[in-house]
Amino acid sequence: MRRLCRRFRRATMLAALLLAQNSHAQAPDVHLSGFATLGAAVSDRDDMWFYRSGLNKPGSDRVDLGSDTLLGLQGSLKLGDSGDLTVQLLSRENTRGNYDPRIAWAFWRYDVSPALSIRLGRLRVPFFMLSDSLNVNYANPWVRPPEEVYSLNPFSELDGIDLLLRLPAGRLELELQPYFGAGRIKLINGGTAELRDVRGLNLALIGERFSVHLGHGSGRLAVDWGDPGFRALSTALRDAGGDLVTLAERLAGRKGQASFSSAGFQWDNGRQLLIGEIVRRRADRYVNSAHAWYLTAGQRIGAFTPYVGYARQRQDRPVAHATIAHPGLAAGFEAFNVSRNDAQRSITLGTRWDFARNAALKAELSRSRVARDAWGSYFPRDAGGTQPGGRTAHLLSISLDVVF
């Protein structure tokens, strides 16, 4: 599998070079496009920071520009009558706190028939109903998709292969998408996480006004937490010996198994819209098991679309269970479990203003209540200071979204 992933990464880089070279050729059949968001988020809490799990670094400024601001450029090169090559470059704040651009997409697609396509290379991980449009904020009604749901799976890219089979189903179209590959992300404080041997299947029914999504995927999970708190806890558990060594091995390593399931729907008649999704993550170690859902309703009034949404995440099982006699180690272990729990609930009021054909201005206010044994979507400003658990926070978010 590692050899396969290396081949995919080499193919990804080669795809980018080929697209760049051909863009300068004589009259190439190239389609270029882009998308961008300038976003700002302000919380009423000065003792904890809002952040998007697995995407960006918790901001240190009162007005956080890093959680939503991004720029994406995409190019597609036609290769013969049935194939094309697509490359997407994306720049947004990462978990290291910089905006270094990365290759988010780089895949070759071949249309076997009008109903069947195969894609090979770097793809968007299709775990969610809105996976393909997550970075194109203009395509979504919110400033950002509900964190309660979309924080449950921070993996964004898949180096692998998928098939897209489209079949008529009455007035609807049935789309089947089996996929296989691997993904890797960087966590804050220098940690990393990997999904290997990922296998999954998505099913969608798509109509003019209504669509339904069902999906399930699973793979082998490896996590290396990089934060000082975990490093100190892991060392102390291993030094204590006995069963605590086994416990330490359940907190980080390369022997995990994880699965992810999702179901969602969208209804839009041009005047009203209703969107809902429910997801579930199951893991035997390294991360907790949890489920989450959201429901959003909106009403179009001319160029404006006011909307209201509710979202909730609940923990089903912590990262690990243990009874530890030593008070200090017990407290450290409990703190670890709490910091890996994103459970919270929120209600959001917002509006979208489509003031131009390809641009929208959005504003929303969210009230979030973090679960008592969790950090939710917040990060404590000081290690020994106020913890997010059981706190209520209000977050004002504004974004300007464009496509070009």
- Rounded to the nearest integer, the mean pLDDT of the chain is 92
The model's pTM = 0.90
Q: pLDDT tens across 295-323, in order?
A: 999 999 999 999 999 999 999 999 999 99
Judge whether 127 lies within some domain: no
Rounded-to-integer distance, Cα 124 and Cα 122, Å? 7
The residues near 152 (Cβ < 8 Å, ≥ 6 apart) are 260, 279, 281, 290, 292, 313, 342
For residue 272, give its domain range. 37-66+139-158+166-403
Judge whether 57 lies within some domain: yes
The residues near 260 (Cβ < 8 Å, ≥ 6 apart) are 127, 152, 153, 200, 215, 216, 217, 218, 279, 280, 281, 282
Check: CB of residue 255 under 8 Å from CB of residue 283.
no
Query: SS3 breakdown of the chain: % helix, strand, coil, rounded to 5?
Result: 15, 50, 30
Rounded-to-integer distance, Cα 156 and Cα 192, Å? 14
Judge whether 277 lies within some domain: yes
Q: pLDDT tens across 4-18, in order?
A: 444 444 544 444 454
Judge whether 328 lies within some domain: yes
Query: What band does 61 get if pLDDT is binned at 50, 70 and 90?
Result: confident
Residues pairing with 367 in the sheet: 347, 394
Residues pairing with 326 in the sheet: none
| Three-state secondary-structure class, residue 216 | strand
Question: Is pLDDT of 347 > 70?
Answer: yes
Judge whether 146 lies within some domain: yes
Report, as an integer, the average pLDDT of 81-85: 95
Please count the residues of the chain: 404
Burial of 62 (0-12, 13-18, 19+ CB in 10 A): exposed
> Domain holding 323: CATH number?
2.40.160
**CA nearest neighbour of 286 among 191, 373, 375:** 191
State how many domains the chain has: 1
Determine the pLDDT at residue 27: 61
Report, as an integer, the average pLDDT of 32-54: 94
Judge whether 101 lies within some domain: no
Judge whether 51 lies within some domain: yes
Q: pLDDT tens across 210-253, in order?
A: 999 999 999 999 999 999 999 999 999 999 999 999 999 999 99
| Three-state secondary-structure class, residue 287 | coil
Judge whether 21 lies within some domain: no
Q: pLDDT tens across 172-220, in order?
A: 999 999 999 999 999 988 899 999 999 999 999 999 999 999 999 999 9
